Amino acid sequence: MAGFDEASTLFVYGNLLDERLQRELLGRTVSTVPATLHDYARERARFFYVTPRPGALTPGLLLLDLRSHDFATLDRYEEVPVLYLREKIDVSAARGAIQRCWIYLPTPLTMRGG
């Protein structure tokens, strides 16, 4: 399986797993692939977030072929840089292939409940 373009791929693990929300925000259906984030645990205060935890697994989806205006919309939705920062990370995609992609990681404000 060929890798995805890391510049246009986003790993999601919370509210953005909802296909209806994706369509509402982006105005279209987005192609997705199941993926897993290793050594991070999903937590929730007011919002979902992940924190490093050895051995933990966080299931999610890769949103594929996102465009720059999609990221601008999603950055506003995720309240970057107040609640989240968009950074690159490695996840396991189909058949265990490692995929580098974007992820929204929490700021301290998110972990305190926003």
- Is 0.75 surpassed by the pTM of this model? yes
CATH of the domain at 24: 3.10.490.10
21 within some domain? yes
Is-contact 15 79, C-beta < 8 A?
no
68 within some domain? yes
71-104 pLDDT, tens digit per residue, is 999 999 999 999 999 999 999 997 778 999 999 9
Alpha-carbon gap, residue 59 to 63, rounded angstroms: 13
20 within some domain? yes
40-68 pLDDT, tens digit per residue, is 999 999 999 999 999 999 999 999 999 99
28 within some domain? yes
Alpha-carbon gap, residue 48 to 33, rounded angstroms: 20
82 within some domain? yes
Q: How many domains does the chain have?
A: 1
1 within some domain? no
Alpha-carbon gap, residue 37 to 21, rounded angstroms: 21
- SS3 state of residue 96: helix
- Tokens 């996102």 appear where? 66
**Which pLDDT belongs to residue 96?**
79
Which domain does 85 fall in, by range?
6-111
- Residue 3's pLDDT band, with cuts at 50, 70 and 90, is low
**Which pLDDT belongs to residue 65?**
96
CA 83 centroid distance within chain: 14
